[in-house]
Amino acid sequence: MTDAKPRTVRAPEILWRAAEILEILSETPRVKSLWLRVPSWPGHRPGQHVDVRLTAEDGYQAERSYSLASAPETALPGREVIELTIERLGEGEVSPYLTEEVRAGDRIELRGPIGGYFTWTVADGGPLVLVAGGTGIVPLMSMLRHRAQRRSNVPAWLLYSSRDFDDIIYREELDRLAAADDRLSVVHTLTRGAPAEWSSFERRIDPEMLASVAPRPEMRPLCYVCGPTEMVESVSNALVDLGHDPERVKTERFGPSGD
């Protein structure tokens, strides 16, 4: 009798798909949201992302990764609709095209969903602490939309840092979500000036701010931090220093946006 050789289990291949742009919405002067129909979309978890590939006439290709902003519930079988929220970067190859050139009816290539570490569903429980800088709000918005779609009563706190008032992505929707749910707290901070009537924070996120917004460490919240590298490192270290469990603090770096 011989020992059987272990079988090699390969992860399923993530296929490239042609996605049709249904609608383009302006979020801020530099940020737009693209709603896309993706045939045979397999579904996603809040916090995952996709790769987008553009191909020029000469065959040159450029790829970039973008977080999914939509809740999984918008992409149920028969709908297969997802949302990407993209900031135009001056030196970028892909973002200027996606934010300035594409039109409804155009098609782009994407593959996904990708990623499993920085994800949350209502089944994971809470409490939930979300900290975002700039476009780092995008995967966290997917979580909040999913939470709202499921009518979850998991307590949730969002602390969102933006450059100025006009740079707050999803501002009106965040206001509506917070107004409709007394178990959701949304707090903003602006780092480069605020309007005269502004009553919230006006500085970068620091330990004092986190302590005043987030629940006590004894509540063992799940913490998700997304934004520029410097902000993410500062906030995650501050959360741990405040007594939060390092294993319950998840981070994702999200490009150069924010402060």
For residue 38, the domain's CATH number is 2.40.30.10
Of the pLDDT bands very low, low, confident and very high (cuts 50, 70, 90), residue 258 is very low
Structural domain span for residue 100: 16-114
Q: Report the pLDDT value the prediction gives residue 58, as an integer from 0 to 100.
A: 85
Q: Report the pLDDT value the prediction gives residue 56, as an integer from 0 to 100.
A: 84
Query: Does the pLDDT of residue 91 top 80, yes or no?
Result: no
pTM of the model: 0.91
The total of other beta-carbon atoms located within 10 Å of residue 11's CB is 5
10 in any annotated domain: no
- 124 compared with 58, residue with greater pLDDT: 124
Query: Does the pLDDT of residue 7 top 60, yes or no?
Result: no
Instruction: Report, as an integer, the average pLDDT of 200-226.
Output: 96
11 in any annotated domain: no
SS (H, E, C) the chain: CCCCCCCCCCCCCCCEEEEEEEEEEEEECCEEEEEEECCCCCCCCCCCEEEEEEECCCCCEEEEEEEECCCHHHHCCCCCEEEEEEECCCCCCCHHHHHHHCCCCCEEEEEEEECCCCCCCHHHCCCEEEEEEHHHHHHHHHHHHHHHHCCCCCCEEEEEEECCHHHCCCHHHHHHHHHCCCCEEEEEEECCCCCCCCCCECCCCCHHHHHHHCCCHHHCCEEEEEECHHHHHHHHHHHHHCCCCHHHEEEEECCCCCC
Instruction: Report whether 88 contacts 102 (CB < 8 A).
Output: no
Instruction: Report whether 259 contacts 134 (CB < 8 A).
Output: yes
Query: Does the pLDDT of residue 36 top 50, yes or no?
Result: yes
* Of the candidate ranges 38-42, 46-50, 129-133, the one whose mean pLDDT is the lowest: 38-42
Looking at the structure, tell me whether residues 92 and 128 fall in a common domain: no
Instruction: Report whether 239 contacts 210 (CB < 8 A).
Output: yes
Looking at the structure, tell me whether residues 132 and 97 fall in a common domain: no
Q: Report the pLDDT value the prediction gives residue 118, as an integer from 0 to 100.
A: 96
Q: ∠ CA(80), CA(82), CA(164), 5° rounding?
A: 165
Q: Which of 81, 114, 147 corresponds to the end of one domain? A: 114
Looking at the structure, tell me whether residues 128 and 104 fall in a common domain: no
Q: How many domains does the chain have?
A: 2
81 in any annotated domain: yes
Q: Report the pLDDT value the prediction gives residue 22, as an integer from 0 to 100.
A: 95
Q: Report the pLDDT value the prediction gives residue 259, as an integer from 0 to 100.
A: 36
Looking at the structure, tell me whether residues 138 and 219 fall in a common domain: yes
Looking at the structure, tell me whether residues 243 and 181 fall in a common domain: yes
Q: Report the pLDDT value the prediction gives residue 80, as an integer from 0 to 100.
A: 87
8 in any annotated domain: no
258 in any annotated domain: no
Q: Report the C-alpha gap between 218 and 227 in whole angstroms.
A: 26
Q: Report the C-alpha gap between 217 and 221 in whole angstroms.
A: 7
Instruction: Report, as an integer, the average pLDDT of 97-118.
Output: 94
259 in any annotated domain: no
Q: Which of 80, 98, 114 corresponds to the end of one domain? A: 114
Looking at the structure, tell me whether residues 94 and 127 fall in a common domain: no
* pLDDT single digits (tens) 24-34: 999 999 999 99
Q: Sign of dihedral through CA atoms 124, 142, 92, 109?
A: positive
Percent share of the chain, pLDDT over 70: 92
Query: Does the pLDDT of residue 132 top 80, yes or no?
Result: yes
Instruction: Report, as an integer, the average pLDDT of 205-232.
Output: 96
Instruction: Report, as an integer, the average pLDDT of 60-68.
Output: 93
Q: Report the pLDDT value the prediction gives residue 93, as an integer from 0 to 100.
A: 85
Query: Does the pLDDT of residue 45 top 70, yes or no?
Result: yes
Give the Å distances, CA to CA, from 242 to 14, 184, 190, 232, 236: 40, 22, 23, 15, 10
Instruction: Report whether 65 contacts 254 (CB < 8 A).
Output: no
Q: Report the pLDDT value the prediction gives residue 79, as an integer from 0 to 100.
A: 72
Query: Does the pLDDT of residue 19 top 50, yes or no?
Result: yes
For residue 229, the domain's CATH number is 3.40.50.80
Instruction: Report, as an integer, the average pLDDT of 50-62.
Output: 90
Q: Which of 86, 114, 142 corresponds to the end of one domain? A: 114
* pLDDT single digits (tens) 137-190: 999 999 999 999 999 999 999 999 999 999 999 999 999 999 999 999 999 999
Looking at the structure, tell me whether residues 56 and 151 fall in a common domain: no
Strand arrangement of the beta sheet that strand 184-190 belongs to: 184-190, 156-162, 128-133, 222-227, 249-253
